[in-house]
């Protein structure tokens, strides 16, 4: 292969979104394309600086990948297709890759190296999660519609009868209070039925470009009007955040619900009540505060345009969520509150998912609970984010406290 052919081959490898990494018989790197660097979190630098480095050194952040390559080289592992959960690093969460691993043989059929081709399965897992949610909502929708018809008619009749009974008991305050309680419970049950129908209805988004900072501040103000909070609120927003293409009303309800839950969880806490709300942009799942983006919008050493998201983090100092409840909190109708309907977080997940995003409970919190909401940025917003990033290379912190 000539020099031109070699350069063309390297360009092909670096143009791939999949990762390709290969080692020789001495366990040294011979191929490490841009896709592999991005997915594995390898140090950025000139491509030539990686060639010849021991795989255990260059892949120190992902020792399992280095081990798989060495095992394939030593013929301890045959050709395989499998999945692997990568180690988290920096601000990136754990993610899953699907890979093909194969020994490389010379002209005499002797093993002289090993190669791995892989791709990040995170976007596909998100799509599967959204498909599963849509399937559950379809099934729940049919069931809820049938139940609503069977429940609403008796409820309406019971409320009419209770109203007539209250008229007959006029002038008997003790009995009237009991009837008022019955009417209140009937209306609460009717509201639950209505909320259930709204939850299972197909999402309809009215998108517009929304200022995310104003949206969060409005949501916090609404939450404070609903729940008394005497603690500290700390805001940390990256500078130059671009408008997002979203349904403002629905996202406002998500953020308000999360903040209200945080306020209520800190009502009886022994810790100093404090709400931390931060917001920043992510490029390929990494914060822009720690990742440099080139002037053309590419990650360093990558020919692929970056995927950008807006991440909102809401952290409180309440009692947190116990391990046995973490898998249940997004289930419809599951609640730990005496007066809760169990719809709030399930509806929040539905709204965020309909935006193509994800909402999750961070399992790394030592104190309280930490919820993260990630919304993909549209192409226009992403381009504007890059432009603003060039104009404001250093992110500023907006901090405030309210009592």
Over residues 65-86, the pLDDT tens digits come to: 888 888 887 765 555 667 787 8
- pLDDT, averaged across the chain: 77
Most confident of 136-150, 220-234, 377-391: 220-234
- Return the minimum-mean-pLDDT range out of 25-34, 196-205, 299-308, 356-365: 299-308
Identical fold for domains 127-200 and 208-391, yes or no, is no
Q: Where are the domains of the chain?
A: 3-120, 127-200, 208-391
pTM over 0.75: no
Q: What is the mean pLDDT of residues 376-387?
A: 57
The full DSSP string for 132-192 is HHHHHHHHHHHHHHHHHHHHHHHHHHHHHHHHHHHHHTTT-HHHHHHHHHHHHHHHHHHHH
The full DSSP string for 70-125 is HHHHTTSS-SEEEEEEPPPBTTBPP-EEEEEEEEEE-TTS-EEEEEEEEEE-HHHH
CATH architecture of the domain formed by 208-391: 2-Layer Sandwich (3.30)
- pLDDT on residue 61: 79
| Domain 3-120: CATH superfamily, name plus number | PAS domain (3.30.450.20)
Please tell me the total number of residues recorded for the chain in this structure: 403
Contact 359, 348 (CB under 8 A): yes
CATH of 127-200, one of 1.10.287, 2.40.50, 1.10.1760, 3.40.109: 1.10.287
**What's the pLDDT band for 305 if we cut at 50, 70, 90?**
very low
Spatial neighbors of 201 by CB under 8 A, at least 6 apart, are 141
- pLDDT on residue 233: 94
- pLDDT on residue 32: 87
b/e map of 145-157 (b: 16 or more CB within 10 Å)?
A: eeebeebeeeeee
- Interaxial angle between packed helices 122-168 and 344-354, expressed in degrees from 0 to 180 and rounded to the nearest 10: 140
- Tokens, residue 132: 């599963």
Across the chain, how many H-helices and E-strands are there? 10, 13
Of residues 73 and 164, which shows the higher confidence score? 164
């Amino acid at each position: 292969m000539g020099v031109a052919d070699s350069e063309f081959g390297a360009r092909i490898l670096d143009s791939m979104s999949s990762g390709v990494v290969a080692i020789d018989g001495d366990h040294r790197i011979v191929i490490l394309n841009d896709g592999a660097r991005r997915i594995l979190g390898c140090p950025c630098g000139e491509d030539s600086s990686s060639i010849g480095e021991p795989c255990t050194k260059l892949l120190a952040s992902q020792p399992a990948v280095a081990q798989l390559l060495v095992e394939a080289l030593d013929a301890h592992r045959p050709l395989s297709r499998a999945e692997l959960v990568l180690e988290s690093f920096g601000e990136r969460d754990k993610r899953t890759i699907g890979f093909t691993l194969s020994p490389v043989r010379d002209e005499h059929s002797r093993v002289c190296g090993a190669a791995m081709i892989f791709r990040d399965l995170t976007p596909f897992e998100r799509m599967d999660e959204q498909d599963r949610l849509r399937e559950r909502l379809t099934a729940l929708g049919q069931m809820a519609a049938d139940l609503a018809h069977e429940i609403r008619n008796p409820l309406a009749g019971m409320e009419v009868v209770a109203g007539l009974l209250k008229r007959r008991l006029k002038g008997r305050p003790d009995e009237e209070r009991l009837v008022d309680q019955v009417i209140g419970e009937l209306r609460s049950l009717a509201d639950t039925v209505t909320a259930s129908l709204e939850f299972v209805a197909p999402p309809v988004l009215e998108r517009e470009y929304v200022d995310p900072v104003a949206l969060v501040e409005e949501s916090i103000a609404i939450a404070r009007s609903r729940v008394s909070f005497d603690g500290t609120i700390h805001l940390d927003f990256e500078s130059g955040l671009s408008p997002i293409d979203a349904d403002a009303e629905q996202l406002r309800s998500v953020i308000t619900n999360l903040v209200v839950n945080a306020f209520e969880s800190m009502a009886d806490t022994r810790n100093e009540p404090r709400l931390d709300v931060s917001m920043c942009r992510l490029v390929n799942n990494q914060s822009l505060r720690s990742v440099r983006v080139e002037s053309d919008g590419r990650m360093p050493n990558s020919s692929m345009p970056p995927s950008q998201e807006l991440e909102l983090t809401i952290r409180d100092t309440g009692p947190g969520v116990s391990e046995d409840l973490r898998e249940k909190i997004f289930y419809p109708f599951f609640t730990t509150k005496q007066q809760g309907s169990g719809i709030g977080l399930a509806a929040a997940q539905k709204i965020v998912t309909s935006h193509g995003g994800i909402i999750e409970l961070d399992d790394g919190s030592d104190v309280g609970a930490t919820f993260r909401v990630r919304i993909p940025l549209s192409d226009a917003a992403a381009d504007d984010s890059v432009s603003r990033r060039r104009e404001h290379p250093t992110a500023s912190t907006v901090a405030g406290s309210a009592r």
